[in-house]
Structure 1
Amino acid sequence: MKKIFLIILAAGSSLGATAQIPQPDPDTTAKHFLIVASIGNLQEANAGRLAAQKAKRPDVKAFGQMMIKDHSDAEQKLMQLAKQQDIGLPSAATGGIVPDPALKNAGNNFDQLYVHAMVNGHRNTVETFENYAVNGKNPAVKAFAGQMLPTLKAHLEHIKAIDKQLNSK
């Protein structure tokens, strides 16, 4: 009887142990990372198009044009990588992304709103890419994240400098 009790106790405790095994963090999955990165690329490129059209300051216009080029190039690389890794991305992450309506309708405040959005957006993007470059599980996607980081960090520093100029006036 004592043996049966010990077996039941052991079985019960092993069931409890399996219930406590942590599940993979979805933020470190390759597919999740690529979805977030794709949406970010498309948002940056679309907002950049608005900046190229609507910005009053030449440095803000130039930054917008850089966003169009760099994030469109990054999106092409991302899509190639997703295809090579056989990672299907939902259409919601690869098309139909539109700029923030507040930015679209900003009027005279466009430069300030755009720069503020780019500072915040690039801070988040750099953090996301750094996280995957360090903690990611897929080696090819991890390499992509690491490869893109210098450009993203340069974008962040560039837009922070523009923001500083805007705020000093």
Structure 2
Amino acid sequence: MKKLCIPVLALMLMACGQQHKPEQERVGDSTRTGRTNVEPVDERSFLGRMANSDLKEIKLGELASQHAKDARVKKFGEDIVKERTASTLQLQEIAHRQGLTLAPELSRDDQDEIGLLRERDDMDRMYIKRMVHEQKRTADRLAQYTNAKDTAISSYAKRMLPIVNARGDEANKILEDMRKQMNNRDISHD
């Protein structure tokens, strides 16, 4: 009975200290908790942001794997789908152990971006350009959590960072090759 009372008392005290601050029920949606500088919430929000990022990259990767004209871009999209799906499963496992439910969803802006990208004549180049940006942003986020207090999150960040960096390097290389091809075409038409 004493073992049960101490955690319940601790929870009650924490609840009293969090007056007027709504709890976040789902991690990964666009709601905010209103709390700042609280490590567990920050780590929980990391899980949600990563799950949302994975979902966006999966959707973009599916688009590239189905509609890209360049074989390298198509393969890149396929690889992103596989890697980010595996990443999402890892995030869900971490969240489950913490008693959280990840609810990744695409923002309206992300949905619009994917829709517009689908219709572009230069979809391959714009997709790779977008992925250079996404990989950089994801790598920066992961680097912040390689020493997180939560060892599962820290371990996840350390495992994923080299994968994301390698994928970012690959996207940069593809984009650079595309730029060279465009410059060669421009010169040959003069």
TM-score bracket relative to the smaller structure:
0.7 to 0.9
Q: 1:95 to 1:118 in 2, by over 3 A?
A: closer
- Alignment counterpart, residue 131 of structure 2, candidates 101, 109, 118: 118
| Post-superposition CA distance 1:61-115 (Å, at most 9, x none) | 00000011111111111101110122333x3x25787462221222x21011101
- 1:35 paired residue number: 48
- 1:157 paired residue number: 169
Q: Distance in 2 between matches of 1:144 and 1:62?
A: 25
Q: Distance in 2 between matches of 1:84 and 1:27?
A: 14
- 2:115 paired residue number: 101
Q: 1:112 to 1:126 in 2, by over 3 A?
A: same
Kept after mapping to 1: 8 A contact 2:69/2:124: yes
- 1:133 paired residue number: 146
Larger Rg belongs to: 1
Q: Distance in 2 between matches of 1:140 and 1:69?
A: 21
| Post-superposition CA distance 1:117-142 (Å, at most 9, x none) | 000010000000001113x2322111
Kept after mapping to 1: 8 A contact 2:128/2:171: yes
User: Greater helix percent: which structure?
Assistant: 1
Q: 1:25 to 1:157 in 2, by over 3 A?
A: farther
- 1:65 paired residue number: 78
One-letter code of the match for 1:155?
Answer: R
Q: Distance in 2 between matches of 1:139 and 1:94?
A: 26
Q: 1:86 to 1:116 in 2, by over 3 A?
A: same
- 2:16 paired residue number: none
Question: Number of paired residues?
Answer: 143
Q: Distance in 2 between matches of 1:27 and 1:128?
A: 16
Structure 1 residue 25: Cα displacement: 6.0
Higher relative contact order (CA closer than 8 Å, sequence separation 6+): 1
2:95 corresponds to 1:87 = no
Q: Distance in 1 between matches of 2:143 and 2:159?
A: 10
Kept after mapping to 2: 8 A contact 1:103/1:114: yes
Which consecutive residues of structure 2, in runs of 5 or more, have no partner in the other structure? 1-35, 182-190
| Post-superposition CA distance 1:121-167 (Å, at most 9, x none) | 10000000001113x23221111111111111111111111011011
CA RMSD across the alignment: 2.2
2:169 corresponds to 1:147 = no
Question: What percentage of residue pairs aligned between the two structures are identical?
Answer: 24
Map 1:40-55 → 2, pairs under 5 A? 40-55=53-68
TM-score normalised according to structure 1 size = 0.77
Which consecutive residues of structure 1, in runs of 5 or more, have no partner in the other structure? 1-22
